[in-house]
Structure 1
Amino acid sequence: MIDLATWNLSVPVGTPPATITTPRLLQGYKNAYFHSDTGTLFFWVPVTGSKTENAIYPRSELRETQANGTLRNWLYPSANNFLNATLAVNKVPSSGKVVIGQIHAFQSQQPLLKLEYQYKASTNSGSLVAKVRNRPTDSSSKAVTLAENVPLGKNFTYVINLTPGGTLNVKAAGKQWSSKISATWRTKPLYFKAGAYVQDNTGNSKEGAQVTFSKLDIDHNKT
């Protein structure tokens, strides 16, 4: 069973979208957009779902918290930081794109990293693309293709690691990529996110992204 004791959940219903607290998740929260009672984490997000403030796409997505449910934000030099996941992307919208993991920045609209699955109907498979912002002030991110030919509906693993020295390591579907980020991130509070953040907002309510996690955990190993 995946431990939900350090997460809250955003689901694309209501205005603003509902946030499900850590204690409520631990009590077995479930609806059409999320459930965990089968031992895996099921996420569904339609392209018609409601959106968080300043976002243009809807999401069913977990956000890192403390064990008491308060928001957890960390500075990367203070620990060796890991997000580990095994999952399958089961359904994609017509854009083919869904974000499945992030390092986000507190009180910012610009994440450090988005890990995105990009499906291509011509190959009946997808690519895993890391979108990295080297500096907090960068207006756009650099896209790095990590792996290709990742089938829809098949499990794969990713590990996102940001070291105390500022090296970003992303391993996905057996491929690995590393890069040094700018030291200007040192003072920015960061946090992990995981789930289904669909990169599409056109179509009907049956169109969207479905993602199923069979493993998900966070580690902050003090140096």
Structure 2
Amino acid sequence: MIDLSTWMLSVPEGTPAQTISTPTLVSGFKDKYFHSDTGTLFFWAPVTGTVTESAIYPRCELREANADGSVRNWLYGAADNTLRATLSVDQVPSSGKVVIGQIHVYGSNQPLLKVEYQYKTKTQTGNIVAKVRYHLDDDEPTVIQVATGVPLGKQFNYLIHLSPGGMLSVDSAGYTWADQISATWKASQLYFKAGVYTQDNTGDTTEGGTVTFYKLAIAHSTSS
């Protein structure tokens, strides 16, 4: 069973989009956008869904939290920070793009890292892409292709790792990418996100992103 006590949830309903608290999530919350009663996590974000403040695309996405429902943020230098998942991307919007994991920044609209699935009609498979802002003041991320050949509906893994020394890596679908981020991030309050963030906002109510997570775990490990 996936531990939901480290998360809160945003669903694409209401204006701005509704936040489901950690205690409510743990007690078995479910709706048409999210459910966990099968032992897996189902996420659905239609292109017609409402958006969070300052966003232009809809999401059904978990945000790192404490068990009491308060937000959890961290400094990367304080621990070895990992987000590990097994999932399948089951539907994509017409853009072909859904974000499936992030390292976000408290008080900012610009994440440090987005991990994105990009479906390619020509190959009938998807690429896993990392969008990285190496420096705190980067206006645009650097786009890195991490993995290729991931079909819709097929399970794959990802591991996001940010070390205390600022080494960032993304392992996914048998491929690995790693690089050093700038020390300008050292004082930033960071947090993990996971789910489906649909990178499209045009179409009908049946169009959007659907993702199923089979495993999902956060760790912040300190050396003894």
TM interval, shorter chain, is over 0.9
1:98 paired residue number: 98
2:132 paired residue number: 132
CA contact (8 A) 1:110 1:136 kept: no
Letter in 2 for 1:171: D
Q: Is residue 13 of structure 2 the alignment partner of residue 17 of structure 1? A: no
* 1:66 Cα offset (Å): 1.1
CA contact (8 A) 1:12 1:50 kept: yes
Secondary structure of 1:66's match?
A: coil
Measure the CA separation in 1 of the matches of 2:209 and 2:195.
Answer: 10
Measure the CA separation in 1 of the matches of 2:103 and 2:190.
Answer: 7
Measure the CA separation in 1 of the matches of 2:65 and 2:76.
Answer: 16
Measure the CA separation in 2 of the matches of 1:144 and 1:119.
Answer: 15
Measure the CA separation in 2 of the matches of 1:133 and 1:65.
Answer: 23
User: 1:66-215 maps to which residues of 2 (within 5 A)?
Assistant: 66-215=66-215
Letter in 2 for 1:40: T
Letter in 2 for 1:199: Q
* 1:58 Cα offset (Å): 0.5
- Give 5+ residue unaligned stretches, structure 1: none
Measure the CA separation in 1 of the matches of 2:100 and 2:172.
Answer: 11
Measure the CA separation in 2 of the matches of 1:50 and 1:184.
Answer: 33
* 1:20 Cα offset (Å): 0.3
Measure the CA separation in 2 of the matches of 1:20 and 1:82.
Answer: 23
2:216 paired residue number: 216
CA contact (8 A) 1:158 1:173 kept: yes
- Give 5+ residue unaligned stretches, structure 2: none
Measure the CA separation in 1 of the matches of 2:146 and 2:169.
Answer: 11
**Which 4+ residue blocks in structure 1 deviate beyond 3 angstroms?**
none
Secondary structure of 1:24's match?
A: helix
Secondary structure of 2:114's match?
A: strand
Measure the CA separation in 1 of the matches of 2:45 and 2:105.
Answer: 23
* 1:16 Cα offset (Å): 1.2
Normalising to structure 2: TM-score of the pair? 0.99
Identity, in percent, stands at 61
Measure the CA separation in 2 of the matches of 1:142 and 1:192.
Answer: 19
Secondary structure of 2:86's match?
A: strand
Letter in 1 for 2:78: S
Normalising to structure 1: TM-score of the pair? 0.99
Secondary structure of 2:25's match?
A: helix
Measure the CA separation in 2 of the matches of 1:11 and 1:124.
Answer: 29
* 1:69 Cα offset (Å): 1.3
Measure the CA separation in 2 of the matches of 1:5 and 1:13.
Answer: 22
Measure the CA separation in 2 of the matches of 1:164 and 1:58.
Answer: 32
Measure the CA separation in 2 of the matches of 1:99 and 1:136.
Answer: 20
Measure the CA separation in 2 of the matches of 1:166 and 1:27.
Answer: 36
Measure the CA separation in 1 of the matches of 2:126 and 2:135.
Answer: 28
Letter in 1 for 2:202: T
Letter in 1 for 2:23: P
